[in-house]
Amino acid sequence: HDDDVILTARDAGDGAAAAKAIGADFHALDVTAPASIAALGDWLKAGGRVIDVLVNNAAVALDGFNAEVARKTIDANVYGPMRVTTAVLPFIPDGGSIVMVSSGVGELSGLAGPIRRELTSQSLTADKLTALMETFVTDVTEERHREAGWPSSAYRLSKAGVNALTRILAAELAPRRIKVNAVCPGWVRTRMGGQSATRGIVEGTRSILWAATLPDDGPTGGFFRNGRNIPW
């Protein structure tokens, strides 16, 4: 049967139009605004809705690199999926799926050793991940991020952060058989990707759909491109 789709977006006009075009329900959502996320939760509850698959796709790629860019990027790209997942989790049944739309630029090989070790630590929790991201923002603000080993790209670190969050949630939600995976859709022709990107929208969604429709015994806690494992 056809699955019901709920599409969310910051821009209500664009979002509603896109939802109408694909026959989806629409609800406004700003992943950086706790009140907006709470409103989504209230709406899901009021409608008795069940979310079999949550796709955390919202992200920003801002120009430049300074304290404000660092703060806004981490807020949208790491804390956004963290907040939304927490809000939507009560509506996800056991055996459900969560897909984090990440990027190959978040591969750990691009990060300094100490930071790589912290992000891959088995004892990493959501709170510790948040503290780590806050340290990055502080170090950028105080212009000491290079000495501390941070990359000069908030987007790169934010995607490494999303990947770490994927592993944390996969372990936490394993008792409920909820699969949590990160995918890299490739370079896609969207507003963010630009018109010179190598993949169209349909090709870009394949990795996401693959992770969203995994069988019950499918992988969890992995990072995939084109259905294949790629390095953290």
Which of 91, 155, 223, 232 is labelled catalytic? 155
Average pLDDT over residues 5-24: 95
Distance CA 226, CA 183 (A): 8
Distance CA 34, CA 78 (A): 14
Question: Is beta strand 228-229 parallel, antiparallel or unpaired with respect to 53-56?
Answer: unpaired
**Tell me: the pLDDT tens digits for 201-230?**
667 778 899 999 999 999 999 999 888 888
Residue 79 bears catalytic tag: no
For residue 201, what pLDDT is reported?
A: 66
For residue 6, what pLDDT is reported?
A: 97
Q: Residue 64: left if φ>0, alpha if ψ -120 to 50, beta else—which one?
A: left
Distance CA 98, CA 96 (A): 7
Rg (CA), the chain: 17
Across the beta sheet with 223-225, the strand order is 53-56, 97-101, 179-183, 223-225, 228-229
Average pLDDT over residues 139-165: 95
Residue among 224, 229, 189 nearest 209 (CA): 224
Residue among 90, 217, 88, 84 nearest 162 (CA): 84
**Tell me: the pLDDT tens digits for 55-75?**
999 999 899 999 999 999 999
The residue ranges of DSSP E strands in 24-96, in sequence order, are 25-28, 53-56
pLDDT grade for 107, boundaries at 50, 70 and 90? confident
Instruction: Give the global pTM.
Output: 0.93
